[in-house]
Amino acid sequence: MTRHERPRPSTSARASIAATAARLMAEDGITDYHQAKKKAARQLGLSEHAGLPDNAEVELELRAYRSIYQAEEHVELIAALRHSALDLLELLEYFHPCLTGSVLDGTAGEHSRIDILLFADSAKDVEIFLLNRGIAVAHADPRNERVEAVLVIETDTVDANLIVLPVAMERVNLKRRDGRPHERLRADRLRALLAG
């Protein structure tokens, strides 16, 4: 090992960080994977700069945690969040919306937000559309340079992030930070999922 390489933690250390991060996300409402992993490493007495587990490892542990400790209420929460998401997809139909993120993949908790991708010529078009319907809009910082804006609105369950992308991005397969594809679902498929 060269002096610039960081030692990789053992498989058991990575697994411990992933499990602890999942517990923090489920119990403390942390929604950011990186923040949860760093806090988990600190709690376990490990360096936050050590090789942390990837998001997929934490997501797997989060699913396991929720199925063991929060099974019934989590199923009800996901259903409620997905119904709110469907309402948004129908409202925002003009902007070709897609549900994505933790509400779609089933890992959302009570502190999560609904993530909706919108495709518009301008974020201002979306903002004006919402304001004309009496819906208050706040702004959040985009985490991706391709995102034109992130508009935050309230729903009957939780806040929603409306992630506005250029129209040309509608057919582009977006990837997560760990390289996995970002799943997305249109209203018709979400309706079928909820009916199933």
Residue 49 placed within a domain: yes
Tokens of 28: 């403390």
Domain stop point among 43, 69, 95: 69
State the Cα–Cα distance between residues 119 and 170, nearest whole angstrom.
6
For residue 62, what are the domain limits? Answer: 11-69
Note whether 102 and 177 are same-domain residues: yes
Task: Read off the CATH number of the domain in which 107 is found.
Answer: 3.30.460
Note whether 150 and 168 are same-domain residues: yes
Q: What is the pLDDT of residues 31-71, one digit of tens each?
A: 888 899 999 999 998 887 667 898 889 999 998 998 888 88
**Closest C-alpha among 96, 142, 141 to residue 119:** 96
Note whether 115 and 60 are same-domain residues: no
Q: What is the pLDDT of residue 5?
A: 45
Note whether 147 and 76 are same-domain residues: yes
Note whether 191 and 132 are same-domain residues: yes
Measure CA 70 to chain center: 19
Residue 47 placed within a domain: yes
Q: What is the pLDDT of residues 71-128, one digit of tens each?
A: 889 999 999 999 999 999 999 999 999 999 999 999 998 889 999 999 999 999 999 9
Task: Provide the domain count of the chain.
Answer: 2
Note whether 19 and 91 are same-domain residues: no
Note whether 139 and 157 are same-domain residues: yes
State the Cα–Cα distance between residues 63 and 69, nearest whole angstrom.
10
Find tokens 């897609």 and name the residue: 98
What DSSP designation does 7 have? P
Note whether 42 and 78 are same-domain residues: no
Q: What is the pLDDT of residues 131-152, one digit of tens each?
A: 999 999 999 998 888 899 999 9
Note whether 21 and 114 are same-domain residues: no
